[in-house]
Chain A
Amino acid sequence: GAGVSQTPSNKVTEKGKYVELRCDPISGHTALYWYRQSLGQGPEFLIYFQGTGAADDSGLPNDRFFAVRPEGSVSTLKIQRTERGDSAVYLCASSSKPPGSGGSSYNEQFFGPGTRLTVL
């Protein structure tokens, strides 16, 4: 089946512009995660959705960053007034709940190929 997909694969924009990055998770996965990876670093958590709601947005660096998942599947990460420091690879991942799990436990996360954002 199809894995996690992200569009666009590359995005070049100018400082101050608005960008939207899209993530299509694996069908049926209720959890969706956004991470950001700067060159030579490990990924850093941004936000996590459980269904349609943001269950943890503690990683969003400031109020220029916002993410939505209105129907509980596709998610969009939105960045306003982009800055050069926003340049990074933005990764999306999704996961499912183990069968019969009643709590908040989730299976492993499946990652998309990422969107490379370059802010000039």
Chain B
Amino acid sequence: KNEVEQSPQNLTAQEGEFITINCSYSVGISALHWLQQHPGGGIVSLFMLSSGKKKHGRLIATINIQEKHSSLHITASHPRDSAVYICAVRVGGAQKLVFGQGTRLTINP
């Protein structure tokens, strides 16, 4: 079993829909990252959080430390949001990131 599990693996939605991507982890962490990767492109950091909730534009990330669970929400989704979204955790005092498998999101116009 991977230390970081994401669901769903693939998600297709229509433009304008509210999107939720989930991440569960099984280890103690010091921080959780949400990352975005476009096809053929590099990885961009969206959020780094260790508690509560963060919002940036149409993106919202939440984390529940007790339940070892985080969600990434996209409001009013747009085709340009189509990408792979990756959850990654920093385990304990280590600096390295442990990554989930990613969620491939496709937003159709």
Contacts and interface: CB of A to CB of B under 8 A. Distances in A.
Interface of A: 31, 33, 35, 41-45, 48, 50, 55-56, 58-59, 91, 93, 104-114
17 contacts: A31-B95, A33-B96, A33-B97, A41-B102, A42-B86, A42-B88, A42-B102, A43-B88, A48-B96, A56-B94, A58-B96, A108-B45, A109-B97, A111-B35, A111-B45, A112-B42, A113-B41
Interface in B26-81: 30, 33, 35, 41-45, 48
Interface string B87-109: 01000011111111110000000
B101 A111 contact: no
A112 B109 CA distance: 30
B42 A111 contact: yes
Interface of B: 4, 30, 33, 35, 41-45, 48, 86, 88, 93-102
For chain B, what secondary structure do more than half of its interface residues adopt (helix, strand, loop), or is it mixed? strand
Contact of A56 (B30, B35, B42, B95): B95
A55 B95 contact: yes
B101 A45 contact: no
